[in-house]
Amino acid sequence: MRGVIALSLTAVLSMFFPRGESIDLNYRIGAVWTKDDLFAPFTYPVQREESDYLDDINTARRNVIPVFERNENAITQQTASLDSLFLPGSGGVPFMPTGLKFTEREKTILGQLESRGATRRLRDGLARVLHEVLSSGYMEIIKDSITSGQVALRRGTIETVLPVSLLYDKNGLVMHLQRTLEEKYSGDNDTTELAYKIGISIIQPNILFSGPATDLVLRAALESIPRTLGVVQENERIVRKNERITAETKMKLESLRAAQSDRVPESSGGLQVVGIVLHAGSIVLLFGIYLFLFRKRIFGSPAHLALIAIAIAFSAATAFLSWLLTADVPLEFLVLVPASSMLLTIVFDSRVGFYGTVIMAFLAAGIRGNDYTVAVSSMVAGALAVYTVRDVKNRTQIFRSIAFIFLGYAVVILALGLERLEPLSGMTVGLVLAFVNAVLSAAITYGALVLVERTFKVTTELTLVELANTNHPLIRILAEKAPGTYHHSMNIAALAEAAASAIGANPILVRVGAMFHDIGKIKQPTYFVENQRSSRNRHDKLAPRMSSLIIAAHVKDGIAFAQENKLPQEIIDFIPMHHGTTRMEFFYQKARKLAEQSADERKIDEINEQDYRYPGPKPQTREAGILMLADTIEATARAMEDPTPGALEAMIGEMVKRRWEEGELDECLLTLKDLTTIRREFLSVLSGTYHNRIPYPAPEKKVRAPRRVASAQPDDSAPSSETDAP
């Protein structure tokens, strides 16, 4: 699985690397060329800016004059059609060969016009409009669609360019026909509407659009637009060292890159892919080696490796987008390496976050064409981002992260800008983009934490800090139902936290683990001595085996309570591990004693030691090992009659030695040096808790003073209880 993740990440990263071009040319207008003088290695054309070329293309499309052809026979044909409408028919109703249909009302109006001899006048009026419109020219398309404002009118081999304002279109015909008929038949709406219906049906366009001819004109216009702006000769200087990049210089550099790409043989493409894969793979391998040597727990978890791969791929994708987009602003300062840096730090630790930052900075530089600026800026800003969240305690630290990320970018922008003599305006734009990066990185990191925790089953420091609150529902129930266990857990938490801090373990993790390690006692609290308020012990009337089952059940019950309340698995693991496979010594010895008193050797043989051991597992982490020792030592110290520093030191040494000899600490990676430090910290905390108190003498009996007229001042009294002692 680890190999699949590594290969998948390498493949994804390889897709982001540039191909088939010189990848050492990084520039923008206004920047200073810091390398040596650059000379053309061969003769090549200077390509225009793609945006300028596309603008000219669009301009040519808008300005091309569409070609139309005039139908010379249209007036004759349409006049004949108009005349055919007014041929006499049966009943005085005109004959309609064109298929034009009239309503009964319209037929009545036609009959009335025929009876008055007015149909001839109607025909002549429509014929006059037809002649006016077709003589000027009636286009079959709307004028507004012709962006050039002109048309090329062809008559055979002769072409005349006319403004569209001289021609009619559908809208122009409607307006002209309505205006003419309203003037002619003022007040006679019925005749006007009928004449309009006939006219709009008969009059058809005679200026017809020629698509093929227009396409030829457009193609010729587009082909005349130049793609190049001259030629750079071989050995011609392109740019001098420390010279500022101009728009012309940028075009020459981009043209050189494109020309180099064209000159690369096709057979070299496969070799370049191999080189890219080796480039990306070597960086991924470097991180993998670090995890294998120093973070074996992460290296052994496919889920953790997948999370790291996603974080790296995310930062690489932002680098690719910044390279892909063309803009005269420093988009390299929008590469979101700090976001991934903070995520790795919060989820794992600051060393993983910093090492990941270095890896991601190198990858971003490679993806952006070996860009030194993006490497330095991403590394500095990412490192500061790591430092701001290495001890994250609450989500309000987002504002501190924003400030330090921006500070990291600002230092690099100013340093490189001053070194390269860049203009102040360019550096200002870079600072603005850096601030946007800082805000986005912090927001993305803190917004993604909940999703990351639930998807990859990881527990961050923020979650642990929230769980350390004693107002958690489980802790409140523990304090209510098992107050002795609650105070015991709080004492253990203080012990374990101090020891973990001293040896470099995770103090907040072991503190939270200590708070929840005995929550299983909520179910049957009175079976545990710290919760028994009377001198009567409920185990006195139980068989040792039954007592051992009840005591061991608090582990299973604790796991069930923790899972119901959706505690992280890292916390749940403390519940069985803090007992490991230790033996419940009191009940085991009680069982043996009862068996010996029965004088039946078979009963002694029937005692199975495993019945009196916790199921385990043994502590698997340093934090779990610390909790096991703290649990044993705190309970023993609480039972001591005279907990002097010397007695406490001897007891701590004995308990640590016993757990070591029993093999309970074999799997938690605690070293002898760690155990020595832990013993010292335990003694320091316990000595402060169980310190010697000053024995105050018993208060003397007061003798009632004789009654006086004036009240007497009372004598000073000694402290009334031990709690008053220092």
Determine contact, residues 329/433, Cβ cutoff 8 Å: yes
How far apart (Å, rounded) are the C-alpha atoms in residues 517 and 578? 7
| pLDDT attached to residue 311 | 96
The verdict on 344 and 386 lying in the same domain is yes
The verdict on 524 and 600 lying in the same domain is yes
| pLDDT attached to residue 8 | 93
| pLDDT attached to residue 31 | 73
| pLDDT attached to residue 653 | 94
Least confident of 54-58, 454-458, 492-496, 689-693: 689-693
Residue 217 token pair? 């004109």
The verdict on 477 and 450 lying in the same domain is no
How far apart (Å, rounded) are the C-alpha atoms in residues 164 and 658? 105
Q: How many domains does the chain have?
A: 3
Determine contact, residues 571/513, Cβ cutoff 8 Å: yes
Q: Put residue 531 in one of left, alpha, beta given phi > 0 → left and psi -120 to 50 → alpha.
A: alpha
Least confident of 269-278, 498-507, 528-537, 625-634: 528-537
What's the rounded mean pLDDT across residues 331-335? 91
What's the rounded mean pLDDT across residues 577-604? 82
Q: Which of 506, 523, 434, 426 is nearest to 463 (CA)?
A: 506
The verdict on 321 and 443 lying in the same domain is yes
Q: Which of 282, 358, 356, 363 is nearest to 18 (CA)?
A: 363
How far apart (Å, rounded) are the C-alpha atoms in residues 461 and 390? 9
pLDDT class for 89, splitting at 50, 70, 90?
A: low
| pLDDT attached to residue 85 | 76
| pLDDT attached to residue 22 | 47
Q: Which of 659, 652, 655 is nearest to 680 (CA)?
A: 652
- Name the residue with higher pLDDT: 586 or 707: 586
| pLDDT attached to residue 724 | 30
How far apart (Å, rounded) are the C-alpha atoms in residues 615 and 612? 9
Determine contact, residues 259/227, Cβ cutoff 8 Å: no
* Residue 601 domain-assigned (yes or no): yes
| pLDDT attached to residue 269 | 62
| Amino acid found at 225 | I
Residue 556 token pair? 């299973």
602-641, pLDDT tens digit by residue? Answer: 666 678 888 899 998 999 999 999 999 999 999 899 888 8
Residue 643 token pair? 């907990």
The conformation of residue 151, written as its DSSP 8-state character, comes to E
pLDDT class for 699, splitting at 50, 70, 90?
A: low
Mean pLDDT of the chain: 85
* Residue 148 domain-assigned (yes or no): yes
What's the rounded mean pLDDT across residues 637-648? 88
User: Residue 707 in 3-state DSSP?
Assistant: coil
**Residue position matching structure tokens 């020219």:** 137
Determine contact, residues 41/341, Cβ cutoff 8 Å: no
The full length of the chain comes to 726
Q: Look at residue 478 and tell me whether its pLDDT is greater than 60.
A: yes
Q: Look at residue 389 and tell me whether its pLDDT is greater than 50.
A: yes
Residue 276 token pair? 């890219």
Residue ranges making up the domain that contains 314: 2-17+287-457
* Residue 435 domain-assigned (yes or no): yes
The verdict on 384 and 494 lying in the same domain is no
pLDDT class for 677, splitting at 50, 70, 90?
A: very high
Determine contact, residues 71/206, Cβ cutoff 8 Å: yes
Least confident of 138-142, 480-484, 693-697: 693-697
Q: Which of 243, 557, 299, 262 is nearest to 422 (CA)?
A: 243
How far apart (Å, rounded) are the C-alpha atoms in residues 175 and 155? 28
Radius of gyration over alpha carbons of the chain, in Å?
A: 46
* SS3 annotation, 633-655: HHHHHHHCCCCCHHHHHHHHHHH
Q: Look at residue 343 and tell me whether its pLDDT is greater than 60.
A: yes
What's the rounded mean pLDDT across residues 544-556? 92
**Residue position matching structure tokens 């490991």:** 580
| Amino acid found at 576 | P
The verdict on 427 and 479 lying in the same domain is no
Least confident of 304-318, 593-607, 646-660: 593-607
* Residue 257 domain-assigned (yes or no): no
pLDDT class for 712, splitting at 50, 70, 90?
A: very low
CA dihedral 100, 103, 105, 110 (to 10 degrees): 20
| pLDDT attached to residue 705 | 47
| pLDDT attached to residue 229 | 84
What's the rounded mean pLDDT across residues 658-679? 93
Q: Which of 497, 511, 495, 502 is nearest to 683 (CA)?
A: 495
**Residue position matching structure tokens 């808790």:** 689
* Residue 331 domain-assigned (yes or no): yes
The verdict on 483 and 366 lying in the same domain is no
Looking up residue 520, the CATH number of its domain turns out to be: 1.10.3210
- Pick from 457, 480, 502: which residue ends a domain? 457
| pLDDT attached to residue 722 | 29
Give CA separation, 210 vs 152, 214, 246, in Å: 10, 6, 45
The verdict on 424 and 473 lying in the same domain is no
- Pick from 202, 219, 236: which residue ends a domain? 219
The verdict on 430 and 507 lying in the same domain is no
Q: Look at residue 26 and tell me whether its pLDDT is greater than 60.
A: no
**Residue position matching structure tokens 């009964």:** 104
Least confident of 82-86, 383-387, 631-635: 82-86
Question: Which residues lie below 8 Å from residue 38, measured CB to CB, with a gap of 6+?
Answer: 237, 238, 239, 253
Percent of the chain with pLDDT over 70: 89
* Residue 719 domain-assigned (yes or no): no
Determine contact, residues 623/674, Cβ cutoff 8 Å: no
| pLDDT attached to residue 564 | 94
* Residue 539 domain-assigned (yes or no): yes
238 alpha-carbon distance from chain centroid: 42
* Residue 107 domain-assigned (yes or no): yes
Least confident of 305-314, 338-347, 418-427: 418-427
The verdict on 395 and 468 lying in the same domain is no
| pLDDT attached to residue 599 | 63
| pLDDT attached to residue 694 | 54
- Pick from 457, 489, 515: which residue ends a domain? 457
| pLDDT attached to residue 658 | 94
pLDDT class for 132, splitting at 50, 70, 90?
A: very high
| pLDDT attached to residue 235 | 87
Q: Look at residue 448 and tell me whether its pLDDT is greater than 80.
A: yes
Q: Look at residue 171 and tell me whether its pLDDT is greater than 80.
A: yes
Looking up residue 435, the CATH number of its domain turns out to be: 1.10.1760.20
| pLDDT attached to residue 691 | 60
Least confident of 227-236, 433-442, 495-504: 227-236
| pLDDT attached to residue 412 | 95
237 alpha-carbon distance from chain centroid: 45
User: Residue 665 in 3-state DSSP?
Assistant: coil
249-279, pLDDT tens digit by residue? Answer: 888 888 887 787 777 665 556 787 898 999 9
- Using omega within 30 degrees of 0 as the cis cutoff, is the peptide bond preceding 473 cis? no
The verdict on 432 and 537 lying in the same domain is no
Q: Look at residue 505 and tell me whether its pLDDT is greater than 60.
A: yes
| pLDDT attached to residue 595 | 80
The verdict on 425 and 469 lying in the same domain is no
